Amino acid sequence: MRVVIADDSVLLREGIAGLLANAGFQVMASVGTAEALVEAVSVHEPDIAVIDIRMPPTHTDEGLRAATRLRDKQPGLAILLLSQWVHAGRALDLFRNGAGLGYLLKDRVIDVDDFLEALRRIAKGGTVLDPDVVAALVGAHPGQNALSRLTDRERQVLALMAEGRSNSAIAERLFLGRKTIETHVNAIFTKLDLGPAGDDNRRVLAVLTWLRAQQ
């Protein structure tokens, strides 16, 4: 898997590069600015870009804006936002652009294997969100939309799906049986009018339906 890394901290980006290289990823470029990121993606055509949100010159949201531009030009590019901060509004705009997206908070990445698995899942078209990001992006807003059909428990399950959790992990988190979770997930698919398809694809579509409904 080909990866480009963008972070203004040279120690962090080189640390990530070494970690990914040791895990068998092809690190095509490691850059420190949004402009360099855009150029590196154009030159190397990676499968996934790992992008810090706050980069020079203003250290506000240059990385996030660059990610949005890249995704508009290359819809197939998978993107993992890796930041210390939650930028709900503009991040939501990015997540409305399809699957193959993730948003993790640096300080909450505590397991290397989980991080690598998140990258692989995103590269395959999955969606992975940190729980704090979910809390910011996914409020239970009332309204006349497909999500209003879901029960409170189904909303809980869908929020955990947005974090990239499997049915087993959701069952463990909610102290419920796996079959109970499978029943909730199937109910979510039905209520969101997601017809028969691969479960992985329907999970992504369900999460995107959830995110698109939030303002």
CATH of the domain at 180: 1.10.10.10
Residues written for the chain: 215
What's the number of domains the chain is made of?
2
The number of beta carbons lying within 10 Å of the beta carbon of residue 86 is 17
* The two three-digit tokens of residue 178, written as one number: 């796996």
Q: Are residues 121 and 182 in the same domain?
A: no
Q: 10-59: per-residue pLDDT in tens?
A: 999 999 999 999 999 999 999 999 999 999 999 999 999 999 999 988 88
Task: Name residue 179's amino acid.
Answer: K
What tens digit of pLDDT does each residue of 111-153 get? 898 899 889 989 988 888 887 776 665 543 444 466 778 888 9
Task: Write down the pLDDT at residue 195.
Answer: 63
Rounded to an integer, the average pLDDT of 59-85 is 90
Asked if residue 143 lies in contact with residue 213, where contact means CB atoms within 8 angstroms, the answer is yes
Are 63 and 44 in a shared domain? Answer: yes
Predicted pLDDT of residue 14: 93
Last residue of a domain, one of 93, 113, 136: 136
> DSSP state, 107?
G
Residue where one domain finishes, among candidates 101, 136, 171: 136
Its domain, for residue 101, covers 2-136
Q: Is residue 79 domain-shared with residue 172, that is, in the same domain?
A: no
Same-domain status, 120 and 44 = yes
pLDDT tens by residue, 160-214: 887 778 889 899 989 999 999 999 988 888 887 776 655 555 776 677 666 666 5
Distance in angstroms (rounded) separating the CA atoms of residues 159 and 80: 18
Q: What is the mean pLDDT of residues 81-110?
A: 79
The answer to whether residues 26 and 124 belong to one domain is: yes
Please check whether residues 92 and 118 belong to one and the same domain: yes
Same structural domain for residues 29 and 129?
yes
Structure tokens at 74: 């290359």
Rounded Cα distance, 19 and 37, in Å = 19
Q: Using the 3D structure, point to which of 136, 171, 191 is the last residue of a domain.
A: 136
Q: What is the CATH number of the domain that holds 126?
A: 3.40.50.2300
Please tell me which residue, 34 or 155, carries the higher pLDDT value. 34
pLDDT digits (tens, 9 = 90+) for 90-102: 676 777 666 788 8
How confident is the model at residue 172, as a pLDDT?
92
Q: Same structural domain for residues 16 and 119? A: yes
- Helices 167-174 and 178-191 cross at an angle (nearest 10°) of 110
Closest CA to 166 of 183, 185, 149, 153: 185
